[in-house]
Amino acid sequence: MIQLTDVERQSLIDLANEARRRAYAPYSNYQVGAALRTRSGRILTGCNVENAAYPTSMCAERVAIFKAVSEGEMEFDVMAVVTPNGGSPCGGCRQVMAEFGLDMVVLIADGEGHLVQETTVAGLLPGAFTPKDLKR
């Protein structure tokens, strides 16, 4: 697991909280923001985007990851996730995170910017199904 300074942690949490303010969540009123740092040092953010047809909504964590992939980045070292109450990423987001590495650090914070939990993707999704589980 990578070592983060308190300043790095708080900076990522603050960026995720800023992204959370841009969330489009008129149905759940549960705004989520994410800030993803790539191994090359880039930081990409995402917010949840809801839709009246609920299954077509997208979580902040996946928005940030998909944005990074679309920009050519596929190696990540840390993601901060901010929700109003410090809620944990959903199962779908955990699975997408696992696709890109179980060792990624995940910072979970509340809407006040307080760190609630620091873990890894492996800690969030023990026994994850990953690309190595597919027969080639």
Distances (CA, A) of 133 to 66, 90, 122, 127: 22, 21, 15, 11
pLDDT of residue 136: 64
Half-sphere exposure of 136 (CA within 13 A, CB side): 3
Q: 32-42, pLDDT tens digit by residue?
A: 999 999 999 99
**CATH 3.40.140.10 describes domain 6-133:** yes
| Cα–Cα distance measured from residue 119 to residue 1, given in angstroms and rounded to the nearest whole number | 9
Contact (CB, 8 A) for 9 and 32: no
Which residue among 8, 61, 99, 118 is the active-site one?
61
Known active-site residue 61: yes
pLDDT of residue 105: 98
Q: 13-65, pLDDT tens digit by residue?
A: 999 999 999 999 999 999 999 999 999 999 999 999 999 999 999 999 999 99
pLDDT of residue 89: 98
Q: 84-121, pLDDT tens digit by residue?
A: 999 999 999 999 999 999 999 999 999 999 999 999 99
Question: Would the pTM count as exceeding 0.85?
Answer: yes
Contact (CB, 8 A) for 44 and 68: yes
